[in-house]
Amino acid sequence: MHEWALAEAVIAAATQIAAKEKLKQITEITIKIGELQQVETDILEFAFQQLKPANLKNTKFHIKSQKATLKCRVCGNTWLFARQQLDPAIVEAIHFIPETAHTYIKCPKCSSPDFEITEGRGIQLEKVTGVR
């Protein structure tokens, strides 16, 4: 239920945006989830439904997913994160802290752990819309 903490963060961020933009009701929230963190969208959606405050009563949540792309800083090789090739304990560590990918994953071409997570890391709040 680590997703619960992330759902709370999304709602807190959306609520702050709504206050700043003087929105009385938030109608839609769009979030992008990076594959690296392997967030369970069912749990996230359940958490949203359980947590949402009054101004999010009728909010529609849109959840997009994004492939995780890694780029080696040494040889320039680019590759996709492949969960199925990893030990479950490693998958779980990366789920909690995606940067632990640097502990366990190496560039398939040159074996360097010095790579960049170019996209698909974690949760991003893409869009918040509402009515004033």
Partner 1 sequence: MADPRTSIINQRLKHINRIIAVTSGKGGVGKSLIATTLALTLSKQHRKVGLFDLDFTSPSTHLILGTKDAQPKEEKGIVPPTINGIEYMSLIYYCSDKPTPLRGADTSNVLIELLAITRWSPLDYLIIDMPPGIGDAVLDLIRLVNRIEFLIVTTPSQLAFETVKKQAILLQQLHAPIIGIIENMKMTNTKNIQQQTEKLNLAYIGEIPYDPQVEDAIGDETKLLSTVIAQKITEITHRRL
Site residues, partner 1 (CB under 8 A): 1-2, 4-6, 8-10, 12-17, 31-32, 89, 93, 96-100, 102-104, 113-114, 117, 121-126
At closest approach, how far in Å is the CB of 70 from partner 1?
12
Q: 117 and 68 in contact (C-beta within 8 Å)?
A: yes
At closest approach, how far in Å is the CB of 53 from partner 1?
13
Nearer to partner 1, 12 or 80 (CB): 12
At closest approach, how far in Å is the CB of 93 from partner 1?
4
Phi/psi zone of residue 2: left (φ > 0), alpha (ψ -120 to 50 degrees), beta?
alpha
At closest approach, how far in Å is the CB of 114 from partner 1?
6
